[in-house]
Amino acid sequence: MRFQKILVVDDSPTELHMVVDILNRQKIPEIITATNGLDAVEKSQTEKPDLILMDVVMPEMNGFQATRKIKKNPETADIPVIIISSKDQETDKVWGKRQGANEYLTKPVKETELIRVLESL
């Protein structure tokens, strides 16, 4: 897998832990976490991750807003963003892609599905 540093963004400690566990099993060398969209935007600039896994419903700034800010910044625009959210309406998925997300997965995320998406990017 080509990703060396992944930023995982989720305000739920349980969801955050589940995704980090999946990435650890994939032997991702560096995993950074954030618990809100504002922190995600800041860490995308300072940490320069290879990939961002972004929740939607969070305090400070939601995942759609954070994705839009990350994609509008020339320094971070090329970082792929995968939204992982409990919002599973088709309109949410379309909106996520319009904000710049490369993929949209629904919670609870399945390990095989996440791995498939990671390998396809």
Q: What is the pLDDT of residue 76?
A: 98
Confidence of residue 1 (pLDDT cuts 50, 70, 90): low
Residue type, position 93, single letter: K
Rounded to whole angstroms, the Cα distance separating 28 from 121 reads 15
Q: What is the pLDDT of residue 28?
A: 95
Domain that holds residue 72: 5-120
Which CATH number goes with the domain that contains 57? 3.40.50.2300
Q: What is the pLDDT of residue 89?
A: 87
Q: What is the pLDDT of residue 2?
A: 81
Residues 21-70 pLDDT 10s: 999 999 999 999 999 999 999 999 999 999 999 999 998 899 999 999 99
Question: CA-based Rg of the chain, rounded to a whole angstrom?
Answer: 13
Provide the number of structural domains found in the chain: 1
Joined tokens for residue 40 = 């995600």
Cβ neighbourhood burial of 60 (10 Å; 0-12, 13-18, 19+): middle
Contacts of 89-92 spanning 24+ positions with Cβ under 8 A = 92/56
- What length does the chain have? 121
Rounded to whole angstroms, the Cα distance separating 13 from 35 reads 8
Q: What is the pLDDT of residue 60?
A: 87
Asked if the peptide bond before residue 108 counts as cis, ω within 30 degrees of 0, the response is yes
Residues 74-111 pLDDT 10s: 999 999 999 999 888 888 889 999 999 999 999 999 99
